[in-house]
């Protein structure tokens, strides 16, 4: 087992997510100079730089967020903020690559992820993920890896009934992680306090 595996696995409730975590090698998604940190126990709660502007979400937090989504095989998933592609690959291992739609607003970052997701047969879309992707809807699950100022209404409209959105919502200084289940009325659960970079796009931040 890798150095962080025991601690990570003990924190996850989903068996499918545990299997996906063990199958996807995070080292393939981390820049070469930081590869040694991929499974370093001292870094599982810390982000790792991808470039001078973007970090990958800390391993413990990223996997916790996927656990909160209750992913299962066959779920159609919208991912907003592909980042380095690591969590995209894990999602694909659980739900099937053909069920993953991932959108990245930064063309450089999208290219970085695409080069690492080739073997997973996932196409990274470049665009405004805050608008979702209506042509691929409806979705069972959606996850945002960047902070929003309010509930992502465009994506909410693209969810199936009882579909789940996980998103950091708040201000540029800090946010709370929310799990929103579509319904009449919607169920909104406030989970953890987090700090993410601000989402760009029509439904993102402007200041």
Domain boundaries, the chain: 5-194
For 155-164, which contacts have Cβ atoms below 8 Å and span 24 or more sequence positions? 155/78, 155/80, 155/130, 155/131, 156/180, 156/182, 156/186, 157/132, 158/78, 158/132, 158/133, 158/134, 163/138, 163/139, 164/69, 164/70, 164/140
Output the pLDDT for position 138: 98
Q: Which regions of the chain are under pLDDT 70?
A: none
Q: Which CATH superfamily is domain 5-194 in?
A: Vaccinia Virus protein VP39 (3.40.50.150)
Can you give the pLDDT at residue 73? Answer: 98
pLDDT of residue 172: 82
* Residue-level pLDDT at 2: 84
Quick one: pLDDT at residue 173? 84
3-class secondary-structure state, position 125:
strand
In 3D space, the residue among 158, 149, 159, 137 whose CA is nearest the CA of residue 200 turns out to be: 149
Helix (H), strand (E) at residue 135: none
Structure tokens at 166: 């996980």
> What are the tokens at 11?
């924190």
Note whether 9 and 21 are within 8 A (CB): yes
Q: For residue 32, give the nearest of 4, 45, 51 by alpha carbon.
A: 51
Read off the pTM: 0.96
């Amino acid at each position: 087992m890798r150095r962080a595996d025991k601690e990570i696995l003990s924190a996850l409730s989903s068996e499918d997510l545990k299997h996906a975590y063990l199958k996807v090698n995070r080292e393939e998604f981390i820049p070469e100079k930081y590869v040694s940190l991929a499974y370093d126990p001292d870094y599982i709660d810390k982000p790792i730089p991808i470039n001078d502007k973007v970090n990958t979400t800390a391993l413990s937090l990223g996997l916790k967020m996927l656990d909160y989504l209750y992913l299962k095989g066959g779920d159609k998933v919208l991912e907003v903020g592909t980042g380095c592609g690591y969590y995209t690959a894990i999602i694909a291992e659980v739900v099937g690559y053909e069920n993953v739609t991932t959108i990245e607003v930064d063309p450089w970052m999208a290219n970085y992820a695409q080069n690492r997701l080739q073997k997973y047969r996932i196409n990274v879309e470049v665009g405004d993920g805050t608008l979702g992707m209506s042509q691929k809807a409806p979705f069972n699950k959606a996850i945002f890896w960047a902070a929003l100022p309010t509930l992502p209404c465009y994506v909410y409209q693209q969810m199936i009934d009882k579909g789940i959105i996980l998103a950091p919502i708040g201000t540029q200084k800090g946010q709370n992680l929310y799990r929103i289940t579509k319904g009449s009325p919607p169920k909104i659960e406030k989970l953890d306090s987090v700090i993410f970079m601000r989402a760009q796009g029509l439904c993102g931040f402007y200041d």
